[in-house]
Structure 1
């Protein structure tokens, strides 16, 4: 296995393989909101500021030109002697498998797959000194959707939400195919797969909304790809305005969900927390927010793996920020344990007041 130390954010060439380290820093900043800072300690290779982490983290960086086994990672960790008392180990590898990342998390080691060409997305994981992790994944391609065997494809969930919102209205397969960028035969297959849970009886055409809604609560993934937690310095109804403005200026696609979205869709009570889905992680300190633990957060900024999530957003009333589709908001509320808001929103949905 070949290895080298990296003394700063520059590109390296090993034989015929070009490790585009500069590309990594650019993608971390533009896609994930992770920025480079200038370390005061000259022994520190890289100092990274990660959204939601209370302090910038110093890393000792090593680049490897050949694949790494989990056992090798453990050996590297055991031999590592940090050049700075506060620094952590960050490894660049040609491939970052789930098994390798699990071993890395166990040892508190950060691992990134370095791109071989410009524009190739980075993947991997950053680990903070207190064990917090930031998972980095390439944005899923809605048309190809490479998924693990046995996991439900995102297109299935997208069609399920659309069927749920349609209620008694006919669902046209061509419209669904055009809307979600998948083939009509695939839409037909998804509808057949959903038929046992989405209809009242094996031969019925009427949608069983309760059964389909419960299926989505049970099956739709609860955990975001990345989430950061913040305490806002103003009431939630004012915080959503400043957060929206901050994200709009930053050019980051976003949509409101959770308690605030529920109150906008079906007023129920004064929201205490704000949940914002975004295309990428963003530092919210400029929006009058302070990083805190999830338990103390009044604002959560989350990045989803679902490529169809933000596409469902729409404007509601005079509110500037877009809002997720109502049934998606409802699933979020149930997953987050906001059952009072979820019940009020569910009643409005079942009564036909929202679609």
Structure 2
């Protein structure tokens, strides 16, 4: 089951939905609230199969960084998994970790522990949808530094030194050197510095690897996507939620081509969009997607266009490709390549 459909199942079965806590700096990936359910901020992690050892490892990772130093976190733990052993669920209960089991087919079930330490048993109907193509994620650590470096070199094709590139994407020179070696064949060193050998080849390499956001929610609006995006952007700004418009609406701003039919907005946490005239629906019914990007630069590599904060152009292209909007993606890519060659 797609994680955005999990939120729809919670809303339909228990009237528990994403909430926006205005005027507070305390938040997690999502704030859930509902009748008899205190507003609770959660840090969400998705897993395939949950075992007791995985819970203990998760808790250890959440409490300390890689050097063993304590971490400061706002939200409670929420694990969304495809399956869990009875022993794992018992360990989760003892450790006060919320668990939702969301199989590809079947109801969402599990336990949510709210901010008052009250346990809520969840048994929600099947709100699953057909999986999107390319939904499988690669195992292992995501090389965000490498992706950020290549995206920066796509954005600006003028040759730059390794030192300059490292500073641009916020990585060490050692990490930049490692990434450039990993990108051998896609980038080359010239007299004035490093640049991509082919924007189209580099973009194709990225689209085969760059993962979708793992955390998202989907909504339906009766408004056209552009005015709907403007209304949502105002709501997000008022709630002090960082955002970046991507997908069709962003592409229409950067390189107008076809009338958008839906909008995708990246945010730093999930929010309630009902005040913007939206209704929670499953992903196949949706015209609005709110997603929390894993990419650490997704909400900083932005620009303001026509009163909207818009994602980096090549990240917009990646979203279009991942959503199957190939014609719009090709139009945007042609414009970006032509601008770089001018």
CA distance in 2, matches of 1:127, 1:173: 51
Label 1:113 to 1:187 Cα distance change in 2 as closer, same or farther (>3 A): farther
CA contact (8 A) 2:32 2:39 kept: yes
CA distance in 1, matches of 2:96, 2:209: 29
CA distance in 2, matches of 1:242, 1:260: 13
Q: How many residues align?
A: 262
CA distance in 2, matches of 1:331, 1:354: 20
The aligned residue for residue 34 of structure 1 is: 31
Does 1:341 find its partner at 2:328? yes
Q: Which has the larger radius of gyration?
A: 1
Label 1:205 to 1:250 Cα distance change in 2 as closer, same or farther (>3 A): closer
Higher relative contact order (CA 8 A, sep 6+): 2
State the 1:192 CA deviation. 1.2
CA contact (8 A) 2:109 2:124 kept: no
Does 1:240 find its partner at 2:235? no
SS in 2 for 1:280: coil
State the 1:245 CA deviation. 0.3
The aligned residue for residue 215 of structure 1 is: 205
CA distance in 2, matches of 1:110, 1:304: 25
The structure with the largest strand share of the pair is 2
The aligned residue for residue 250 of structure 1 is: 239
CA contact (8 A) 2:154 2:196 kept: no
CA distance in 2, matches of 1:349, 1:161: 12
The aligned residue for residue 129 of structure 1 is: 124
The aligned residue for residue 13 of structure 2 is: none
**Segments ≥4 residues shifted beyond 6 Å:** 26-29, 47-50, 111-115
Q: Structure 2 length as normaliser, TM-score?
A: 0.65
The aligned residue for residue 121 of structure 1 is: none
1:137-161 superposed Cα distances (whole Å, 9 cap, x missing partner): xxxxxxxxxxx97434211110010
CA distance in 1, matches of 2:40, 2:26: 10
Label 1:171 to 1:179 Cα distance change in 2 as closer, same or farther (>3 A): same
CA distance in 1, matches of 2:169, 2:122: 35
CA distance in 1, matches of 2:174, 2:111: 39
1:289-346 superposed Cα distances (whole Å, 9 cap, x missing partner): 1111111111111111111111111112xx1111111111111101100112111101
Correspondence list, 1:178-197, <5 A: 178-197=167-186
The aligned residue for residue 228 of structure 1 is: 217
Label 1:311 to 1:67 Cα distance change in 2 as closer, same or farther (>3 A): closer
Label 1:92 to 1:180 Cα distance change in 2 as closer, same or farther (>3 A): farther
State the 1:30 CA deviation. 2.5
Specify every segment of 5 or more residues in structure 1 that has no aligned partner in the other structure, as ranges: 1-25, 40-45, 51-65, 77-89, 116-125, 134-147
Does 1:154 find its partner at 2:144? yes
CA contact (8 A) 2:320 2:326 kept: yes
CA distance in 1, matches of 2:294, 2:145: 12
Correspondence list, 1:7-156, <5 A: 30-39=27-36, 46=37, 71-73=85-87, 91-92=92-93, 94=95, 104-105=101-102, 108-110=108-110, 129-130=124-125, 150-156=140-146
Specify every segment of 5 or more residues in structure 2 that has no aligned partner in the other structure, as ranges: 1-20, 42-54, 58-83, 116-120, 129-137
CA distance in 2, matches of 1:206, 1:246: 39
